[in-house]
Amino acid sequence: MLYIVGLGLGDEKDITLRGLEAVNKSQKVYIEAYTSLLSFGISQDGISTLEKLYGKPLIVADREMVEEKVDDMLLEARQFDVSFLVVGDPFGATTHSDLVVRAKKLDVQVQVIYNASVMNAVGVCGLQLYRYGETVSLPFFTETWRPDSFYEKIHKNRALGLHTLCLLDIRVKEPSLESLCRGKKQYEPPSFMTIGVAIDQLLEVEQLRGESAYGEDTLCVGFARLGSENQMVVAGSMKQLRTVDFGPPLHCLTIVGKTHPLEEEMLDFYRN
C-alpha cells in the first residue's frame, strides 16, 4: 500500500490519527519538501521533531527525487507499506494526481488521508469559500521572465464578483541557471515570496496591461503562517498591505471580490 498522508498546516501535531496509524504501519516514510513547508521548516530540527512524534526515520523527497526516482518508491510500495507525507492536503494547493496515476499503472494500491489545506484555511478571514473563483499562482519574476497569465484569471474572477486566492512562489532546492549552463548543479538558497513582493508584481502587470482588473486601492487580505499559533491575517488595500511586515513565510494573498455584509463585518476585525 502507498499511503499519501496530509500533514495539515501547522506543525507535527496536525497529522490525523488515521495518518499516524498509516505512518506506524509503513516500513518506509517519505516527506515531500518542494511544494510547501511546515511552520518549522524542513530543517534537521524539524525532521527530528517529526521523527520523534511519528517514531520513524523520514526520507526527504525533493523535487528531483519525486520527478526522476518516484518509480523506485512505487516499486517499494508493491512489496511493503510506504507513506508519502504531504504538507497540507494531498489534493489541496498542489495536487499529487500524477503520483496516484503512476501508482495505479504499476498496480500499487493507494490510500489518501486528507487534512487541512490553505484552500480552506483562508476562510478564517470571513470571506465565504464558495465565493472564490479560480486560484492563481504568482511566480517570482526575473529579469528575463515575467509571466502574466494569472492576470486574465484575476480579471475574470473580479468581473464575476469572486474572490481570488493567490498562492505565492517558494523556491526550495532550485538549481541556479549558471550551474545548469556549466553542467554541474548548484542550488540557490531557499526563497519565499512575501506579500509585498506579490503586490509589487501584481501592480507591475496591471500597469502594463491597463485593463483595470485591480489597483492600489483594491481590497485584499494577506495571510502568513496559516494554521500555526502565530498566524497573521490583515485586510486592507494593496497600497496598505505592501507596507505591512508579515514576518516569516509562508504567505498568501486574497484579492477580494464583491462582498456580502457578513463578510464585511468579519473583514473589519482584520483591517490594518
Annotated binding site for S-adenosyl-L-methionine: 9, 89, 92, 117-118, 168, 226, 251
**Helix and strand numbers, DSSP H then E, in the chain:** 11, 12
Residue type, 125: C
Please classify residue 201 by burial: count the beta carbons closer than 10 Å to its beta carbon, then call 0-12 exposed, 13-18 middle and 19+ buried. buried
| Residue 193 near residue 251 (C-beta atoms within 8 A) | yes
The C-alpha atoms of residue 32 and residue 13 are separated, in whole angstroms, by: 17
Q: Could you tell me which residues are annotated as the binding site?
A: 9, 89, 92, 117-118, 168, 226, 251
Instruction: Find cell 520527478 and name the residue.
Output: 67
CA gap 113, 43 in Å, rounded: 24
Residue linked to cell 496598505? 240
Number of CB atoms found within 10 A of residue 61's CB: 19
Q: Would you say the C-alpha torsion 73, 78, 80, 81 has a positive or negative sign?
A: positive
Distances in Å between the Cα of 81 and the Cα atoms of 2, 20, 168, 217 are 6, 13, 34, 53
